[in-house]
Structure 1
Amino acid sequence: MPKARRNKCKDKLPRSQGATIAVREYYGTSSIIDTPDHDVEEVSSSLSSEDASAKSDLPQHVRTMSDGSIVDIQPVEPGRVPSPTASEIIANCHEEDMIEMRNVDQKARAEGVEPGERKKRLLELQEQRNEQRKLEEKIAQEEAERKLDEEFDSWIEKGKGKGKK
């Protein structure tokens, strides 16, 4: 016995009649959306005298919000930036080095190397690759300057014989 065919139209979500016209023209403006909420109370921005005295008793890194709630903020001390992890080093490295650094990290993990040692290896590799990249860039720049000098000299040589008759 053949299977009953499903009606494809039933499986689809219904479409609105005016789907082809602009949303604002189809739905129009709504007074519900345009009116402000009257049941929401305005929070007073001024602190009462009790709140002010309580605020002065708090440590310097603890702040109070205008609604009276207390927020604990731990500022980062100047000169004290958290050290990146091995994964962060890989994520922030130069794109040419990413595969090599990932392989070094995976090999170190397989060997059971401590996270600090993995980080040290990655930083050393990153420093080597940065130095190598700077050296290659310097060599390429010197080569480009040499080619420009040769081209300039050839123009000078060509120009010497043509102007004198």
Structure 2
Amino acid sequence: MNLTKDSRPLRRSLAASLLLALAACSNAAQAATYTMFRDAGCGCCLSWAGHVEHGLEAEVASVDTDDMAALKTAKGVPQDLWSCHTMEVDGYIIEGHVPADAVAKLLRERPEGVAGLAVPGMPLGSPGMEVGEQVQPYDVIAFGPGGRSVFASYP
């Protein structure tokens, strides 16, 4: 490509526009509010929140509550999918130890009929439940008006 001195301002302008567009996309992903509800006595919830913050480059607000069952019921989490904490982000419910990459995929793809994701129970090796080298395979379940399906599986 043969660029003359006159094309340098155009090239700089295009580069600046590209950088602004990339920054806007990055800020849009970070603009979502991540609010995790948890029992104050549970420590793994804070570890999971740290995983999400690192994986999604986002800040997770932690709200302690005395009645997680009532909160989960009000948020529409099916009882057989319950875990120790519940997070709201951008209109979705994230229940339990869902990996950050699954949350990112949900926010990116926005599948129809999905109200949220859940990892029932507290499987060893899931984010926030790391115990040495112990790992239990688990599924991330998508749930909502469209029914349920396996959204992702982890070894």
TM-score of the aligned structures, taking structure 1 as reference length:
0.19
Higher RCO (CA 8 Å, separation ≥ 6 residues) = 2
TM-score of the aligned structures, taking structure 2 as reference length:
0.20
**Structure ranking higher in strand proportion:** 2
**Structure ranking higher in helix proportion:** 1
